[in-house]
Structure 1
Amino acid sequence: MNRIPVGMLGPVPDDLPTIETLDDLTRLVTQPPPGEELYVRWSQGPAVDVPGRCGGSSRDTLTGIALPGLSANPLAVEAWWGDRSPRLWAARRLYDYRHLHKPGVRPWVLAGVARGRGPDNEPLVRCLRPVAWIAGGALDEAEALVEAQPAEAWGPLARG
């Protein structure tokens, strides 16, 4: 995966690398670039979210209020996860929000800094740099892995 320099403040690249497999995402989750917090965001991509410069802002769909960052979800494995599979953790980070996958919307990874919480208590993140797209194959692998789990009540956070 070709790296974009940390602290990039120039134009957002159109040629982001792509994370093709769940194993690739798991490696990134378990071995993030030093000093960076990684997040996954579902959107049209960094060129739309942070045109020209990193940073970015989401908008609350109910009120129309501009939020102080991009709605995203952290990729770092939480301590409470213990010695469970980091691959399953990475899969769940994709699976739980797959209802956001709509035409023109896809997941991508960004390095960022949390600046607050959104209306669903999600982190609102200032994008420091876009890292990579996540390919459909990785999404398919995540779905298969999560759905193979024996838990009966496991499901996406889909809202009607």
Structure 2
Amino acid sequence: MRTVSSLAEVADLATSRAPLFVRFSAGPEADSSEVSRDHESGCELPGLSVNPLNPEPWFDRPVQHWVARQFVQYAHLGENGRYAWVLAGRVVGRGPDCEPLVADVEPVARIPDEVVREARDLYEDVFDAGQDGT
């Protein structure tokens, strides 16, 4: 698994291959040896909970904006030895928050904390998080 060095590099990944996802966890090795569970119900999930990295067709902004938004939504999970990483895989369902659940995971890239900070800075610059948006 390679390590990316910038948000632009992640955006390039997101435009070169689909589907790709981002996950905050202890990494692919740790995830492969554990069963994912819904924290509230205790139900076993059929795959890893992830966030889509490829922009939706309706998103008419730069790809870096989409990627930054996807990172920021779950960046709070990147604590206590957890980090962001990009993966490919097969969607096998939806989690309790309607997030994709992915199996047959292929690790693609590790996202260093500096790149997550770069995403947060861009997000704060380009999105008006205080507005409704509807």
For residue 128 of structure 1, what is the aligned residue in structure 2? 105
Q: CA deviation at 1:97?
A: 1.1
Q: Which sections of structure 1, spanning at least 5 residues, go unmatched?
A: 1-15, 155-160
Q: Which runs of 5+ in 2 are unaligned?
A: none
> Aligned match of 1:47 in 25, 29, 34?
29
More helix by share: 2
- Report the counterpart of residue 15 of structure 2 in structure 1: 30
Instruction: Return the match for 1:63 from 29, 32, 41.
Output: 41
CA contact 2:89–2:102 (8 Å) conserved in 1: yes
Letter in 1 for 2:26: Q
Contact persistence 1:110–1:127 (CA under 8 A): no
Aligned Cα root-mean-square deviation (Å) = 1.6
Please say which of residues 23-32 and 142-151 is displaced more in the overlay.
142-151
How much has 1:127 moved relative to structure 2? Answer: 3.2
The structure number with the bigger radius of gyration is: 1
Aligned residues: 131
CA distance in 1, matches of 2:127, 2:43: 40
- Given that 2:88 and 2:108 are in contact with CA atoms closer than 8 Å, whether structure 1 keeps it comes out as yes
Report the Cα distance in structure 2 between the residues aligned to 1:66 and 1:48, rounded to whole angstroms: 17
Q: Which runs of 4+ in 1 moved over 4 A?
A: none
Matched residues in 2 for 1:88 and 1:24: separation?
13
Give the Å deviation of 1:28. 0.3
